[in-house]
Amino acid sequence: MTKILLRDRLDDCISRWHAAGLDVIGPVSKNNISQFDTIQKAGELDFGIILPDRTLKDLFFPQTEPMFRYRIGKQQIDTEEYLPPGRQRIVFGARPCDVSAMAIDDPLFGWDYKDTYWFKRRTETVIVTIACTSADEFCMCTSLKLAPDSPQGSDILLRPLEGNRGWLVEELTERGRDAFSLIEGLLENATGDPLPLAVVPVKFDLDACREWLQNPENFESHFWKEISMRCIGCGTCTFLCPTCHCFDFQDEGDTYTGIRRKNWDSCSFALFTMHTSGHNPRSTQSARWRQRIMHKFNYFPGKFSLNSCSGCGRCTRECPVDMGITETLQEITKLSK
């Protein structure tokens, strides 16, 4: 017998989670943008959107966060460390691509230095994922060998039932089971027909692309200049990418007292690689775009055996000049044939 979570029980579930001290977070559309936000009632959640404008990484790796405060005295330097607020959280209604992206970044944030900020938030958060039953023309999870119901990174996977009445519950991890034991009595022991999954066509040949990217001859290919000619060098694709994880440090304050913050940074920016001398090893936008593609589909898989892309398609969806990973990998697929 499987378990079913009915949609009209969701408010009761949220109350139970609140009572147990969990913050409940989900996709919310407000002020002309959709993103993950803390909610009080189920009605605040927007189940109508395929994917929020902003990604799940906001919850684990915010765009700016304080690391420590410093005060430089005559004798010594005092510092006071900031850590993420220790709140237990449950994310309800993330999508498999966004959640897979968190699983993709786990090895990155833990391979040599274990990133305190990332892992503190990861272990404090239970993720309830809803499988996709619809997709748009930019979705490309299948091209990354993922699927509209990929379980990677999820603690609970929900499959929407016919008539929008609720979800079939699949408990995937201990943490997920713990969170759902809090709403034990609210789940139905029943079964139902899940809606068919979204159909996401495969858009490029990932293995062929990897092979092409690995060939050193292609590093200086004219292709990179052609494909990135219209790139304007903004950070939209990187900041709205669930797996992009580059950051910069910034001290704010004055000479003697201030705060060190960790801010998102982007390989699309010329300043990203600018040396103090004024020399810039990635001096052109084509070199920067090549770096982004190489990092995601060659260097990262070389190190972690994972592609640093989960196929959410936001890069193409949001690009001001209609570029994106899909187009580039489609072109590379053509070149490799």
Partner 1 sequence: MSIQEQYRKRAAELLASGEVKIIIGYGAGSTPDRRRALFIRSADDASLLHVDAACDANLSGYLVSEGLLSDRKKVGIFLRPEGIRSVNILAAESQLDPLQIVIIGFNVENGSLAALQGSGVNDFSSLISTLKESRSTPEEQALIEKIEGMTPEERFAFWQAEFSKCIKCYACRQVCPMCYCKRCIVDNNQPQWVHTSSHTLGNFEWNLVRAFHLSGRCVECGGCDRACPVNIPLRLINRRMAQEVLDAFDHFSGMSHTQEPVLASFKKDDPETFIL
Partner 2 sequence: MSEPFEPKIVAFVCTYCTYAGADLAGTSRLKYPPNIRMVRLPCTGRISPMFILKALQKGADGVLVSGCHPGDCHFTHGNYHARRRWTVFRALLNFTGIPLERIRFSWISAAEGVKFAELISSLTEDIRKLGPFDQYKAMIHETETPVSL
Instruction: List contacts with partner 2 (CB under 8 A).
Output: 66, 69, 82, 252-254, 257-259
Q: Does residue 52 bind partner 1 (CB under 8 A)?
A: no
Q: Which residue, 175 or 282, is less far from partner 1 as judged by CB? A: 282
Residues 6+ apart with CB under 8 A from 240: 53, 54, 55, 314, 315, 318
Query: Given the DSSP bridges, would you call strands 77-81 and 64-72 parallel, antiparallel or unpaired?
Result: antiparallel
Q: Does residue 53 bind partner 1 (CB under 8 A)?
A: yes
Closest CA to 168 of 128, 201, 205, 139: 128
Q: Which residue, 233 or 258, is less far from partner 2 as judged by CB? A: 258
Q: How far is the CB of 5 from partner 1 (least distance, A)?
A: 31
Q: How far is the CB of 72 from partner 2 (least distance, A)?
A: 12
Q: Does residue 40 bind partner 1 (CB under 8 A)?
A: no
Q: How far is the CB of 28 from partner 1 (least distance, A)?
A: 13
Q: Which does 327 bind (CB under 5 to 8 A by kind): partner 1, partner 2, none?
A: partner 1
Q: Measure the CA–CA gap between 157 and 306, rounded to whole angstroms.
A: 21
Residues 6+ apart with CB under 8 A from 223: 331, 332, 335
| Order of strands, sheet of 23-30, starting from the edge strand that comes earlier in the sequence | 33-38, 23-30, 89-94, 125-130, 156-160, 166-171, 3-6, 188-189
Closest CA to 156 of 142, 167, 144: 167
Q: How far is the CB of 225 from partner 1 (least distance, A)?
A: 10
Q: How far is the CB of 261 from partner 2 (least distance, A)?
A: 8
Task: Label residue 143 exposed, middle or buried (CB < 10 Å: 0-12, 13-18, 19+).
Answer: buried
Task: Figure out which of the listed residues 125, 228, 308, 316 binds partner 1, where binding follows CB under 8 A.
Answer: 316
Q: How far is the CB of 260 from partner 2 (least distance, A)?
A: 10
Beta carbons within 10 angstroms of residue 117's beta carbon: 18
Helices (H), 215-295: 223-227, 236-239, 285-294
Q: Which does 253 bind (CB under 5 to 8 A by kind): partner 1, partner 2, none?
A: partner 2
Q: How far is the CB of 176 from partner 2 (least distance, A)?
A: 34
The interface region with partner 1, picked from 12-20, 94-102, 144-152, 318-326 by CB under 8 A, is 318-326
Q: Which residue, 262 or 290, is less far from partner 2 as judged by CB? A: 262
Contact 117, 65 (CB under 8 A): yes
Q: Which does 72 bind (CB under 5 to 8 A by kind): partner 2, partner 1, none?
A: none
The residue written with tokens 């966004």 in the block is 98
Q: Which does 69 bind (CB under 5 to 8 A by kind): partner 2, partner 1, none?
A: partner 2
Contact 310, 243 (CB under 8 A): yes
Q: Measure the CA–CA gap between 295 and 164, rounded to whole angstroms.
A: 40
The interface region with partner 1, picked from 7-15, 81-89, 173-181, 225-233 by CB under 8 A, is 225-233
Q: Which residue, 190 or 271, is less far from partner 1 as judged by CB? A: 271
Task: Figure out which of the listed residues 1, 19, 32, 73 binds partner 1, where binding follows CB under 8 A.
Answer: 32
Helix (H, G, I), strand (E, B) or coil at 321: coil
Closest CA to 26 of 126, 113, 116, 147: 126
Q: Which residues bind partner 1 (CB under 8 A)?
A: 31-33, 53-54, 63-64, 137-138, 229-230, 232-236, 238-240, 250, 252, 261, 263-264, 266, 269, 271, 316, 318, 320-324, 326-327
